Amino acid sequence: MNTDILNIEIQEFINSNLKSETSSLLLKGIPFKDVDARLIVEQIEAKKRCEKKLPTWFQTKTIYYPNKLNIEQTSSEITASYKANLVSGKTLIDLTGGFGVDTYYFSKQIETVTHCEINHELSKIVKHNYKSLDASNINCLNENGIDALKRMDTSFDWIYIDPSRRDDSKNKVFLLSDCTPNVKTFQGLFLKYAKNVMIKTSPLLDISATKNVLKQVKQLNVVAVNNEVKELLWVLERDFEEDLRIKTINIAKNENEIFEFSHNDESNIIAEYSEPLTYLYEPNSAILKAGAFNSVCAVLDVYKLHKHSHLYTSNKLISFPGRRFNIEKVIPFNKKEFSKLGIQKANVTTRNFPLSVSDIRKKLKIKDGGSSYLFFTIDKNNTKIIILCTKE
């Protein structure tokens, strides 16, 4: 960590060149002899990536940025803030601290927080940044989190861990057994030192398979931002033996869409089916990832169109965690029937349908856009249909 980077003149240069091409800056020459030009460029590139993802860091003076990879791997402030609302108590230890965004938000809810980071350079950077952010209740340890836990030999209210999803060759991995540390191996140790454990995993993980690997799982949070699933948060509680509750949240611009259900109930609920009625509903990505296909029917009192379509309908408009549409017309999937609609431009979605969106556009000569929405799916009678809608 080169603290000369924090000099006023260099900070002003970084801020004034956030929109500049860094390759051009290197060609022109950067006018600071005491700091490697490449290091300044790295600061510019890393800070650029923080403007939307980490606005608090971006707007705070004397923040020192790590390399771009650390920024890519860190949580966004949006998801970190959500995590923080899941914890409470006096002590928490983050075993895989990284750039420390999650730790910072935990410190707003917990009296004393410990940040563990094995990378010496990154640990120094994080410690410096916490001073700039006035986060005085965070203790930074330049140590492997597992080793620190064993050495300290003390109890915490919470343990948080975000296993590294990169292998020795820096390739991306997502299976728990391939991540570092291997949570399956150490979960007994975690529950020895904390009553509550939160594990962040890749959204690509299979939920049922992971539930069978982890012990005493109390809750799973499926977190999406603007309809893109970002992470799975597994909450373990010592001696917990009841059914897993799954909470899905889609953090959107105007509101947070939340839906909760029981993992066991989902497999026991028998969904009811119907032809398309007055309104059509498309669940958000968090619900689809969580597999709450039957629970949606039971909790929200709607009907499914088909077992595998995951589209829902009702005669009464309801608040729904996803997109809502007014159904204008339903026709069989037939080129001649479709031509009668006179639609040349529409938003096309497929659910449980044999053709892709691009194939449909080509076959029916539909341009993208406009105010009409077309859903190509299969109804409860296994008939291929087109549902013409307008957005509610």
Class of domain 75-242: alpha beta
Least confident of 176-180, 195-199, 266-270, 322-326: 176-180
- Over 60: is that where the pLDDT of 169 sits? no
Q: What is the mean pLDDT of residues 362-374?
A: 93
For residues 97-115, one letter each, b for 16 or more C-beta atoms within 10 angstroms of the residue's C-beta and e for the rest, the string is bbbbbbbbbbbebbeebbb
More confident residue, 243 or 374: 374
Q: Decide if pLDDT at 382 tops 70.
A: yes
Q: What is the mean pLDDT of residues 160-188?
A: 75
Q: What is the mean pLDDT of residues 152-156?
A: 95
What are the pLDDT digits (tens) for 258-273? 999 999 899 899 999 9
The torsion angles phi and psi of 297, rounded to 5 degrees, stand at -60, -50
Pairing of strands 194-201, 228-237: antiparallel
Kindly write down the DSSP assignment for every residue of 120-148, as one continuous string. Answer: HHHHHHHHHHHHHTT-TTEEEE-S-HHHH
Question: What is the per-residue pLDDT across 83-136, written as a single tens digit (0 to 9) for each?
Answer: 999 999 999 999 999 999 999 999 999 999 999 999 999 999 999 999 999 999
Residue 68: which pLDDT band, with cuts at 50, 70 and 90?
Answer: confident
pLDDT of the residue at 313: 97
Please name the residues in contact with 374: beta carbons below 8 A apart, sequence gap of 6 or more: 343, 346, 347, 348, 349, 366, 386, 387, 388, 389
pLDDT tens for each residue of 10-64: 889 889 888 888 788 777 778 787 788 888 889 999 999 999 999 999 999 999 9
Nearest to 133 by CA among 185, 70, 58, 194: 58
Instruction: Compute the average pLDDT of residues 160-165.
Output: 85
Q: Please give the pLDDT value at position 115.
A: 98
